[in-house]
Amino acid sequence: MIASLLVRLCAVALLWLAATEAAASALVYGLATVPVVVAVTYVLLPRRRTARRGDHRGLAGRRVRGILIILGIAGWVLWRSVVGGVDVARRALHLPRADIDPRWSEYETRLRSGPARVALALVMNLMPGSLSARLDGARLEVHVIDPSLDVHSSIAALEERLARVEEAFA
């Protein structure tokens, strides 16, 4: 348990330092943020008990697969954020009037677990042009900058990736 906690603390702290470029002004926020993020990782990716003798290979393989899927999700979200950010900037700078038509949309998720549904709602907020406003069971209410954006297919693609993480760590 202690080793798992230390590994997660070090990983999140390193990510925080990299994201803030170790700015002195951000260190105080990191002291509060890093433990919260580590706690969230335990909710989303709970520590597994040690497998029985002979089961180590299967458990390790699932963990590696899960970690690779998570890295794939991070890359996908990063790419979607860049593409979406360019689109949002284009819409905001469209003169003489911004090219937006905000709307509400609903999405029914097929994810089974509560933590996976929460992860879907939180991660989709990183994609510009949409904002999850409410998660009620399997129903996700989303605010969209313009109905021409295909937010449902983006959410479905993210949901598919999170379902693979959910399966890998089940």
Residues 91-122: tens digit of each pLDDT? 888 778 877 888 999 999 999 888 889 989 98
The answer as to whether 56 is a domain residue is no
Model confidence pLDDT, tens digit, residues 28-47 = 888 888 888 888 887 777 76
At 156 the pLDDT is 93
Same domain, 5 and 85: no
DSSP string covering 53-70: TT-HHHHHHHHHHHHHHH
139-144 β-sheet, strand order: 103-108, 139-144, 130-136
Per-residue confidence band for 89, with pLDDT thresholds at 50, 70 and 90: confident
pLDDT of residue 83: 83
Retrieve residue 25's tokens. Answer: 């002004």
pTM: 0.60
Mean pLDDT of 136-157: 90
Any domain includes 72: yes
55 within domain boundaries: no
Phi, psi for 91 (deg, rounded to 5)? -65, -40
Looking at the fold, whether 40 and 75 belong to one and the same domain comes out as no
Is position 8 within any domain?
yes
Joined together, the tokens standing for residue 161 give: 């990736």
Domain count of the fold of the chain:
2
- For residues 25 and 75, membership in a common domain is answered with no
User: What band does 49 get if pLDDT is binned at 50, 70 and 90?
Assistant: low
Is the model's pLDDT at 55 over the cut of 60? Answer: no
Residue 149 tokens read as: 């954006």
Establish if 85 belongs to a structural domain: yes
Q: How far is CA 56 from CA 31, 61, 70, 153, in A?
A: 35, 8, 21, 37
Supply the DSSP symbol for 149.
S
44 plus 70 within the same structural domain? no
* Mean pLDDT confidence for 1-16: 86
**Which range of residues forms the domain containing residue 19?**
1-48
Clarify whether residues 111 and 167 are in a common domain: yes
